[in-house]
Amino acid sequence: MENIQWALELQDVNKTFGSFKAVDHLTLRIGTGQIYALLGPNGAGKTTTLRMIAGLLIPDGGEIQILGQSVISNPQAAKRPLAYLPDEPLLYGKLRPMEYLEFVAGLWGMNATEAYQEAQELLKWLDLWEHRSAFAESYSRGMKQKLALAGALIHKPQVMILDEPLTGLDAAAARQVKDLLSQFVKDGNTVVLTTHILEVAERMSERIAIINKGQIIAEGSLQELRLQSGEAQGTLEDVFLELVGAGS
Ligand SMILES: Nc1ncnc2c1ncn2[C@@H]1O[C@H](COP(=O)(O)OP(=O)(O)OP(=O)(O)O)[C@@H](O)[C@H]1O
């Protein structure tokens, strides 16, 4: 067990807004090479947790490590292998997709030739290449989401955290994103995602954590969660509702 390389380790992480505990002594370890789903009802603390992992929010206490590097004490090194895709990603509307991707690649210090090749490959893979002469502001929601995903992938991260990555995507775009994430983990990388679409978590993720009121109330494979909830034959929805209901 001790030889496992952890993509993410959260130890006793806390975050309070005023007197409200959004994340309450949360401890979680996620191994590399898998898709991991973080589920929970509205307001459970999922986005707050992801924002702390991405270094956008400072925890009040606890430790967060990405591939063994501390986000708290060594944020630059820790964040280098990380990509974070928020639920409403920021794009620059007046940039065309190649300009946007080259800009993001520049922020990561990539050389121009490598950035161009990687950007071209990502746009082709996501069916955005034919729309490369349009400004991002003219893109549909799904196209913007795919462009943001390409931006998250441009620096070849090893750990990707995505907040509701399939929201607003049509079936074809959702399939493309799912295929891309599956390929990403097949290459040994790690995906952590939140979703309210429980079938997505059920079908895509190897392991699942359920958060309620800032705490992990269950963690494991679907089979393990079934045992924890007493819903031996249940779908993830049955298991989720049983566990979250019991925790309320
Ligand atoms: N900057 C903030 N200031 C005050 N309260 C906040 C802030 N950010 C989040 N919260 C509160 O913390 C709680 C957890 O929010 P969070 O966005 O992490 O939940 P979530 O699990 O992602 O929910 P959802 O599924 O609805 O996206 C909520 O009650 C929210 O109102």
216 shares its domain with 123:
no
Q: Say yes or no: 234 and 112 in one domain.
A: no
Spatial distance between the Cα atoms of 15 and 24, rounded to a whole number of angstroms: 7
Residues spanned by the domain of 18: 1-81+159-168+196-247
d(CA 229, CA 17): 31
* 106 in the same domain as 5: no
Closest approach atom of ligand 1 to CA 41: 25
Name the residue with the closest Cα to ligand 1, atom 3.
Answer: 17
Which residue, of 156, 183, 216, is where some domain finishes?
156
Of 39, 46, 48, the one to substitute when testing ligand 1's pocket (max ligand atoms within 8 A of C-beta) is: 48
Q: Residue 174 domain-assigned? A: no
Ligand 1: centre distance to CA 19 (Å) = 13
In a domain, 173, yes or no: no
Number of continuous H segments (helices) and E segments (strands) in the chain:
9, 10
CA-to-CA distance for 10 and 181, rounded, in angstroms? 23
Q: How far, in Å, is the centroid of ligand 1 from the Cα of 48?
A: 6
Question: Can you name the residues that pair with 220 across neighbouring β-strands?
Answer: 208
ipTM: 0.96
pLDDT tens, the chain, 248 aa long: 556 689 999 999 999 999 999 999 999 999 999 999 999 999 999 999 999 999 999 999 999 999 999 999 999 999 999 999 998 888 888 999 999 999 999 999 999 999 999 999 999 999 999 999 999 999 988 899 899 999 999 999 999 999 998 887 888 888 888 998 999 999 999 999 999 888 888 889 999 999 999 999 999 999 999 988 888 888 899 999 998 985 45
Does 22 sit in the ligand 1 pocket, CB within 6 Å? yes
